[in-house]
């Protein structure tokens, strides 16, 4: 098949590799424009562009996919199928109507659950125990198209967004490979989603990383897992902004009056242990401004923290 691919981040690369490995004709790669990145705001190409340029594939980077000139370019390419994976823009009907076999998307959830742009983070934040990949036909809605194929995977209770992202990227490639095989005899039939069961993702914002100690221990732990490594979770200790990389939930419950955010332990034996609304959590890996990530006991050696200090 003549396939046009649309994607932007690292998540999309295993899907790209499958298209080439399976012998399909990759007629072009569409990705987001180069953007400033990092502290130095150096203009950097997206991972998909780097992958495509290294291998000599034609790259398109429209500011907006609704641009008439860009749509005309796609029409002239005459793809049999368009495959998208975390592209970052919603495709208009004019583009969806171009390929004879339609447009399909590699989505990192078990639709209709977690439609939208942050399904990996949201699944972890909500304490889900399983997720997966959905290969679906695209329509004018937000992840509302018919389902071609799904692959499920369990979420380890200790894994964070980074590790789950990497596993789902690989699973996405596997699911796409199987799905493309279904197109050998024409366009396969999809299964309509149950829209009444649909849920939607929150847009991930840096402000979501602030820990409110009035939350329960499970919510705090899941938030740290979901937002690590980006945008990261943080709290304030003695006026210092402390980034939290890993949290251990403590099994014991507090007795008496609960003061959320109160430091219960700050020593070599117990580490840095803080009260939440219904129990204790240990800030097992932290990072002070300008410092590397370290274990809590190492942090405490260089930063005196008194028991009963209140984290903000």
The fold for domain 206-302 equals 3.10.25
Q: Give Cα separations from 38 to 10, 151, 209, 308 (angstroms).
A: 16, 34, 18, 37
pLDDT tens track for 90-145: 999 999 999 999 999 999 999 999 999 999 999 999 999 999 999 999 999 999 99
Q: Which CATH superfamily is domain 2-197 in?
A: Formyl transferase, N-terminal domain (3.40.50.170)
Print pLDDT tens along the chain (312 aa). 999 999 999 999 999 999 999 999 999 999 999 999 877 888 999 999 999 999 999 999 999 999 999 999 999 999 999 999 999 999 999 999 999 999 999 999 999 999 999 999 999 999 999 999 999 999 999 999 999 999 999 999 999 999 999 999 999 999 999 999 999 889 999 999 999 999 999 889 999 999 999 999 999 999 999 999 999 999 999 999 999 999 998 755 555 677 999 999 999 999 999 999 989 999 999 999 999 999 999 999 999 999 999 998
What angle (nearest 5°) sits at the alpha carbon of residue 122, between those of residues 237 and 30? 115
pLDDT at position 241 is 96
Strand, coil or helix: what is 72?
helix
Residue 214 and residue 260 in contact, taking contact as beta carbons nearer than 8 Å? yes
Cα dist from 142 to 120, 123, 137, 224, whole Å: 16, 18, 11, 27
What residues does CATH 3.40.50.170 cover in the chain?
2-197
Token pair, residue 168, equals 């789902």
Note the helical H segments in the chain. Answer: 13-21, 47-54, 68-77, 93-96, 119-125, 161-181, 217-226, 296-302
**Residue 40 confidence (pLDDT):** 80
Cα dihedral 123→176→183→148 (10° resolution): -10
**CATH 3.10.25.10 domain locations along the chain:** 206-302
Q: Enter the tokens of residue 194.
A: 């149950």
């Amino acid at each position: 098949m003549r396939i046009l691919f649309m994607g932007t981040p690292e998540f999309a690369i295993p899907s790209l590799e499958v298209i080439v490995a399976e012998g399909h004709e990759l007629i072009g790669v569409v990705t987001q424009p180069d953007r400033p990145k990092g502290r130095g705001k150096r203009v950097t190409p997206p991972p998909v562009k780097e992958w495509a340029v290294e291998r000599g594939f034609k790259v398109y980077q429209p500011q907006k996919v609704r641009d008439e000139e860009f749509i005309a370019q796609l029409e002239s390419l005459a793809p049999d199928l368009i495959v998208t994976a975390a592209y970052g823009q919603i495709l208009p009907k004019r583009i969806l109507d171009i390929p004879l076999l339609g447009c399909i998307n590699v989505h990192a959830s078990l639709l209709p659950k977690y439609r939208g742009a942050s399904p990996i983070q949201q699944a972890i934040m909500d304490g889900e125990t399983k997720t997966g990949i959905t290969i679906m036909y695209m329509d004018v809605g937000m992840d509302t198209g018919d389902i071609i194929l799904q692959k499920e995977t369990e979420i380890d209770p200790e894994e964070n967004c980074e590790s789950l992202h990497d596993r789902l990227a690989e699973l996405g490639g596997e699911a796409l490979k199987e799905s493309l095989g279904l197109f050998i005899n024409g366009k396969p039939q999809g299964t309509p989603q149950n829209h009444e069961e649909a849920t939607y993702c929150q847009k991930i914002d840096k402000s979501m990383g602030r820990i409110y100690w009035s939350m329960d221990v499970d919510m705090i732990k899941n938030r740290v897992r979901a937002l690590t490594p980006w945008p990261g979770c943080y709290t304030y200790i003695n006026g210092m902004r402390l980034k939290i990389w890993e949290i251990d939930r403590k099994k014991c419950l507090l007795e008496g009056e609960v003061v959320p955010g109160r430091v219960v332990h700050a020593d070599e034996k117990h580490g840095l242990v803080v009260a939440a609304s219904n129990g204790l959590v240990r800030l097992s890996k932290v990072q002070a401004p300008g410092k590397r990530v370290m274990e809590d006991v190492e942090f405490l050696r260089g930063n005196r923290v008194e028991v009963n200090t209140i984290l903000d």
